[in-house]
Amino acid sequence: MPVDDAATANAIRRQEERLQRDPASLAFAQLADLYRKAGRTPEAITLCRDGLARYPHYTTARLILAKALMADGELDEALAELSTILEVSPRDLQCHQLAAEIHRHRGRIDAAVEHLEAAVRLDPGDRESRALLGVLRASAAPGGETSGLGRVLNDDTFVTVTFGALCLDQGLVEEAAQAFGRILRKDPENPEARQRLEQALRARLRRKG
C-alpha cells in the first residue's frame, strides 16, 4: 500500500537533494525504495535500472527493483531479478520469500513450495513461511486418521473450484487453500483458482490476526 505522508515526502526530498549533489552515489537505492513505498513505482524502477547499469552487483538495489516490479504487476521481470540475486546469494531469505509469493501468484505451487522450504531452512523461526508451506503442500493425515473432507481433498477427481469455493464460504480456509493449490498443480493458468487461492490465504491471515 502506498505511503504518502509528510515524513516520507521529506525523506524523498532529502534523498533527491543528496543524489543531485552526487549523481554517482549509492543513495539511488534508498530513494528508489522511498519512491516504491510512496506508490511511485515507475520512478523507482527507472532509478534502480539506471543505478544498476553502473553498479550491477549492488544486490540491495536489485531487491528494491524486484519489489517495485512486483508492485507494478511485472511478476516475471521481478522473478528474473530475484533469480539473479539467488545465483550469487542462495541464502538470501527475503529473496526466497518473495520468489515463493510470485510463483504462488503465477499458480506455480511446486516452485513456491521449493522457495518456502528454503526460507524455512534458513530461518526455522519464520512462522509465516512454515504455515504457508503446510497449506501449499496440501498434506493430509495418513490412513485412518484422515477425515472425510481430508479424503476428498486427497482425490483430485472431486477437487474443483466449486468445491474450494464451498469450503471458503463455510469458513474452511485451510481446506479451501489446499483445494485451490491442488487445482493449480494440474492447471497453473487457471485464473479463478489463482484468485481464489489468494482470497483463501487472505482470509486465513485475517483469522490468524
In three state form, how does the secondary structure of the chain look? CCCCCHHHHHHHHHHHHHHHHCCCCCHHHHHHHHHHHCCCHHHHHHHHHHHHHHCCCCHHHHHHHHHHHHHCCCHHHHHHHHHHHHHHCCCCHHHHHHHHHHHHHCCCHHHHHHHHHHHHHHCCCCHHHHHHHHHHHCCCCCHHHCCHHHHHHCCCCCCCHHHHHHHHHCCCHHHHHHHHHHHHHHCCCCHHHHHHHHHHHHHHHHHHC
150-174 residue pLDDT tens: 666 666 667 899 999 999 999 999 8
Given this model, what pLDDT does residue 62 score?
97
90-137 and 1-83 share a CATH fold: yes
Report the share of the chain in percent with pLDDT over 90. 77
Model confidence at 138, in pLDDT bands (50, 70, 90)? Answer: low
Count of CB atoms within 10 A of residue 127's CB? 11
Count of CB atoms within 10 A of residue 88's CB? 10
70-82 residue pLDDT tens: 999 999 999 999 9
Rounded to whole angstroms, the Cα distance separating 138 from 196 reads: 16
Q: Is 21 exposed, middle or buried (0-12, 13-18, 19+ CB in 10 A)?
A: exposed
Which cell numbers in the block locate residue 70? 512486483
**Rg of the Cα trace of the chain?**
20
Model confidence at 204, in pLDDT bands (50, 70, 90)? Answer: confident
Q: Are 66 and 82 in contact (CB under 8 A)?
A: yes
Architecture label for domain 1-83: Alpha Horseshoe (1.25)
User: Residue ranges of the domains in the chain?
Assistant: 1-83, 90-137, 142-209
Rounded to whole angstroms, the Cα distance separating 163 from 169 reads: 10
- 145 vs 7: which has the higher pLDDT: 7
Under CATH, domain 90-137 is a member of which superfamily? Answer: Tetratricopeptide repeat domain (1.25.40.10)
| Distance of alpha carbon 177 from the chain centroid | 16
